[in-house]
Structure 1
Amino acid sequence: MNQDYIKSDHWSIIEEGFNAERVKSSESLFSIGNGAMGQRANFEENYSGETFQGSYIAGVYYPDKTRVGWWKNGYPEYFAKVLNAPNWIGINVFINNEPLDLNTCKEISDFKRELNMQEGWYKRTFKATLPNTIKVEVAITRFLSLDIDEVGAISYSIKVINQDANVKFVPYLDSGITNEDSNWDDKFWNTTVVEDFENRAFITSHTMKTNFKVCTFMQANAVYKDNEIIATKGDSSETFISAIIEKEVEKGEEITLYKFGGYTVSTNHENGKLQEAANIALDKASALGFHKLLEKQKNAWASIWEMSDISILGDVKAQQAIRFNIFQLNQTYLGTDSRLNIGPKGFTGEKYGGSTYWDTEAYCIPFYMATKDQQVARKLLKYRYNHLEKAIENAKKLGFVKGAALYPMVTMNGEECHNEWEITFEEIHRNGAIAFAIYNYYRYTGDYSYIPEMGLEVLIGISRFWQQRANFSSAKEKYVILGVTGPNEYENNVNNNWYTNYIAKWCLDFTTAQLQKVKEEYAEEYARIIDKTAVSDAEIKDWKTVAGKMYFPYSEENNVYLQQDGFLDKELIKVSNLDTSQRPINQKWSWDRILRSPYIKQADILQGFYFFEDHFTQEELEKHFDFYEPFTVHESSLSPCVHSIQAAKLGRMGQAYNFYLRTSRLDLDDYNKEVEEGLHITSMAGTWMSIVEGFGGMRIQDNALSFIPQIPEQWSSYSFKLNFRNTIITVTVNTKETSFSILGDQEVTIQVNHKKVVLIPGEVVKVTN
């Protein structure tokens, strides 16, 4: 049974009624971020019930020493973790000296949370009866500014309902925090300065080992009957500082605390000037005030939605879901800093360390290419180029030579920092996803310049890895790749994972072709690259040999490629025959049992058919989909979106729609029973692909946009925009026709249902579905 407490709404995520068992899940679902920092939806006031405190700063991490029973050569020394940062949102509240704590209140009513995605703010309201019988009505609004991205803002209002009462706010900063996820219970932060000045407070601290320096800051004041109340000094300690705002409040009257807070970081400022930078940020915020800053927030989000929104008519749950996915992607990464990337949990939790995975290249880049300027996607590619030397070091640790590069499965700074052997050393297909992203970027944007400037060096390092990782099998008279884990992590240490072998072959072929193209068209860059990498004709010949003789396991009986050599040795019981009480199997079964089962965590061969669909016929896709989908449990967040796209390509819109709902509402409905750990940010880009590439049928063919539009029967229409080579194209699909319009100065020729269509600026072109 999936959770169902989130109310359906076109633009908001809404929870009504207080339930302590839902607190941690809602802390994830109502998370906010602005690309530079983010936080779970923890209560500002003290809460003594179960909670998962989480505030995070982009790019700030700690190398938590790996914890294993015994060491293995080449094993990562640490697991990088985005840290729970010092807490700036805290506001303890006392009514006649009784603490406001929703875990101890005698009665709570009218509790409501709203995450307004259209305008970029989070609000919580409720009525509560405290143990001392005083009744209060509370309203809190919070947002992280897009205009001043080091600043967050809180408005905290209290109305005393049944009598006059003393209301005391104690806004505070606290650097004495811990991570939920820690290998050795290390101390991650060291606090050096705790001080206040007038109505502002500052805590300066640094991370242990990595020495990121952070100034956490706040400013607080209150308004009662239009009169401002300035905070006075509160308590302080080595890791804590507070202020006090206290007022006798008449029955039926309201007092509102306004708090600005946030972080300045040594990655953006000189070390000795963090507090100065904090004061500048507070000056900007306080000059505007809470309400004007909120108006700027609404305008900034309106600008984001203007390009990235997908509008759906006729299906509120589907509409809410896609906007939630798009909203969280934009909260996590806005493309302003090429040093940053996209963690699988974003700013919503600590699982996976908050680091960079292959998800960025395989799932996120298409979203950012199409909804923002192409420079945003280019920055994501540049991130990998900047880490090329580290990728070469990673491969060298494993015994590879001559500049072979193995990009890390998980990273913060280019070093591998994953803790699981079967992923760290075996899930090498991530190299292929990075190479594919280079191709995909060029295919979509038409910007080839990245390849001679940076990308070709990356491709050479990756190809050197594949050539060395494959070995010749005399028995098969083919090159094989042994001991790997494919995207389907429910098969570890297998031989000849089809997806891995196929993407390895493709990488070798693609790199060879790009070397020739750069040689012919970019002679100066080619000479620089050859001088730097020392690629020889003999080496390229070796690449061609490996690619040309790569082995792919195949079943003549079933007429399909096999996921890996031993797949047919398994007891092939379909998911439909699996007792629902055994799901999800990753929470109910031993790992031994999972590895012996036929069950697929996520699309594996179908992932390959998605990347390289032009290499296969529709009939081949149908055979492989029908063979593997019945064994797929979709216990990876990255799985349903690929199946949705493939089902749509096969014309199975009922199935495609169900997979879309699963991927889009994965967190809202908590399909995998783990949302309290954080949201699945990177898979949310796959949700966008499900609509644009799945239902819309968008592809690049013959160097132009192509569409084969379809629509789920539950919808009356849907529309989206694409930034294609600096031309904005709006696509609207209804049950009868598809409409196209463009913004720009030039005509654009596209294909719709395999026929050429010319789009002219200022005109709407309609094509019958």
Structure 2
Amino acid sequence: DFLYDYGCEILFETARFWEDLGAYIPLKGNKFCINCVTGPDEYTALVDNNAYTNYMAKMNLEYAYDIANKMKKEVPQKYQKVASKLNLKDEEIVAWKKAADNMYLPYSKELDIIPQDDSFLYKERITVDEIPEDQFPLLLHWHYLNIYRYQICKQPDVLLLMFLQREKFTKDELKKNYDYYEPITTHDSSLSPAIFSILANEIGYTDKAYKYFMMTARMDLDDYNDNVKDGIHAASMAGTWSAVVNGFGGMRVYTNELHFEPRLPKEWNLLSFNVRYKGRKINVKLTKENVVFALLEGEPIEIYYFDKKILLEKGENKVESLKN
């Protein structure tokens, strides 16, 4: 088992890192805070309690705590081996749980959104529409110390968090945060449009979803950021796949179960893709009217189409009406 033989070392050492990096701050109600960090957004730097960072660190700490205790019960010899190698003490594991339970998670009651960090909402807000087109990308025209003064994002930060930990947030919370951050995101990063496409599709902003998908797909073809001379944007190409499968295909993994909430863009008549999951190969095909699920390889598996549980077995197509 990769996790017990190798992965646990990475998991435990990263948990150690987070517990060492943060501190319990009295003026934050003795919450565990992680200060002076930079999250995904490259137009905001060296901030306290970046929401993405704190949520991700909390997940890491919780998972490390759970796996350490699980290994103690299920594979005690393997646990003792890795604990000895890392000089891992029981009190450290307890400290991980304490840090996770007391992690400071930013929230604005006034705006009912997740602030990107402690200071973000206290900066002057400037929307993309207020900036002349010839000023983009900002990093080539504005000094970074000027950029840092504004509520302006190069790429999704809070929204990337909401994509990666989607099960922790309601659709209403997603919509409120999307509506707040979209007008102030420049997409000067090639990594940006794919996430906006995926989340717009889920919210029901279908035109925006397709617009951002095309930005992702044509990033280099249209030289969107005037920098293709420096090389291709390989991660953006991967984002194109994600925008198709996670966006239009609506694929998510929640609590180790495969979920689909697909929406076919009006510009397309057909979408078909394969995914591999837990030793299975599954084909998903969308038309204007239906979605068809087929298990191509592997043992039977249960998946979800919206809230409906579906059992997939080889040789049998499962057809459902496509929801708008």
TM-score by length of 2: 0.95
Counterpart-to-counterpart distance in 2, 1:554 and 1:705:
30
Match of 2:223 among 657, 670, 676: 670
- Contact kept, 8 Å, 1:697 with 1:708, in 2: the verdict is yes
Q: Aligned AA for 1:450?
A: F
- Contact kept, 8 Å, 1:553 with 1:565, in 2: the verdict is yes
Q: Aligned AA for 2:319?
A: K
Aligned to 1:488: 41
3-state SS, counterpart of residue 273 of structure 2: strand
Q: 1:364-763 residue pairs with structure 2 within 5 A?
A: 449-476=1-28, 477-701=30-254, 703-744=256-297, 746-763=299-316
Q: Aligned AA for 1:461?
A: E
TM-score by length of 1: 0.41
Counterpart-to-counterpart distance in 1, 2:253 and 2:124:
40
Deviation at 1:768, TM superposition (A): 0.5
Counterpart-to-counterpart distance in 2, 1:519 and 1:529:
11
Name the structure where helix makes up a greater proportion of residues: 2
Counterpart-to-counterpart distance in 1, 2:296 and 2:46:
51
Deviation at 1:742, TM superposition (A): 2.2
Deviation at 1:559, TM superposition (A): 1.1
Name which of structure 1's ranges 669-678 and 469-478 shifts more when overlaid on structure 2. 469-478
Q: Aligned AA for 1:700?
A: V
- Contact kept, 8 Å, 1:653 with 1:711, in 2: the verdict is no
* Distance change (3 Å), C-alpha of 1:555 and 1:458: same
Counterpart-to-counterpart distance in 2, 1:450 and 1:691:
30
| Cα deviation digits, residues 697-738 of structure 1 (max 9, x gap) | 112245332211111111111110112223221111011101
Deviation at 1:745, TM superposition (A): 5.6
3-state SS, counterpart of residue 561 of structure 1: coil
Q: Which runs of 5+ in 1 are unaligned?
A: 1-448
Runs of 4 or more above 6 Å deviation: none
Counterpart-to-counterpart distance in 1, 2:164 and 2:72:
27
Name the structure where strand makes up a greater proportion of residues: 1
Counterpart-to-counterpart distance in 2, 1:717 and 1:490:
38
Deviation at 1:526, TM superposition (A): 1.2
3-state SS, counterpart of residue 253 of structure 2: strand
Counterpart-to-counterpart distance in 1, 2:297 and 2:38:
46
Deviation at 1:609, TM superposition (A): 0.8
Counterpart-to-counterpart distance in 2, 1:500 and 1:745:
37
- Contact kept, 8 Å, 1:496 with 1:553, in 2: the verdict is yes
Counterpart-to-counterpart distance in 1, 2:43 and 2:299:
49
Counterpart-to-counterpart distance in 1, 2:274 and 2:312:
14
Counterpart-to-counterpart distance in 2, 1:571 and 1:580:
20
Q: Aligned AA for 1:495?
A: D
| Cα deviation digits, residues 566-601 of structure 1 (max 9, x gap) | 112211121122221222211221222111122101
Q: 1:92-111 residue pairs with structure 2 within 5 A?
A: none
Aligned to 1:58: none
* Distance change (3 Å), C-alpha of 1:665 and 1:468: same
Counterpart-to-counterpart distance in 2, 1:567 and 1:744:
48
- Contact kept, 8 Å, 1:472 with 1:479, in 2: the verdict is yes
Q: Cα RMSD (Å) of the superposition?
A: 1.5
Aligned to 1:253: none
| Cα deviation digits, residues 211-231 of structure 1 (max 9, x gap) | xxxxxxxxxxxxxxxxxxxxx
Deviation at 1:468, TM superposition (A): 0.9
Deviation at 1:667, TM superposition (A): 0.9
3-state SS, counterpart of residue 454 of structure 1: helix
Q: Aligned AA for 2:140?
A: Q
- Contact kept, 8 Å, 2:123 with 2:151, in 1: the verdict is yes
- Contact kept, 8 Å, 2:167 with 2:254, in 1: the verdict is no
Q: 1:26-105 residue pairs with structure 2 within 5 A?
A: none
Counterpart-to-counterpart distance in 2, 1:724 and 1:541:
33
Counterpart-to-counterpart distance in 2, 1:498 and 1:472:
16
Deviation at 1:513, TM superposition (A): 0.7
- Contact kept, 8 Å, 1:467 with 1:546, in 2: the verdict is yes
Counterpart-to-counterpart distance in 2, 1:689 and 1:618:
19
- Contact kept, 8 Å, 1:750 with 1:757, in 2: the verdict is yes
Counterpart-to-counterpart distance in 1, 2:25 and 2:54:
14
Higher relative contact order (CA 8 A, sep 6+): 1
| Cα deviation digits, residues 491-547 of structure 1 (max 9, x gap) | 111111111111111111110011112222222211211221222221112222222
Counterpart-to-counterpart distance in 2, 1:569 and 1:751:
42
Counterpart-to-counterpart distance in 1, 2:166 and 2:317:
31
* Distance change (3 Å), C-alpha of 1:748 and 1:547: closer
| Cα deviation digits, residues 45-67 of structure 1 (max 9, x gap) | xxxxxxxxxxxxxxxxxxxxxxx
Deviation at 1:762, TM superposition (A): 2.2
Larger Rg: 1
Counterpart-to-counterpart distance in 2, 1:562 and 1:704:
30
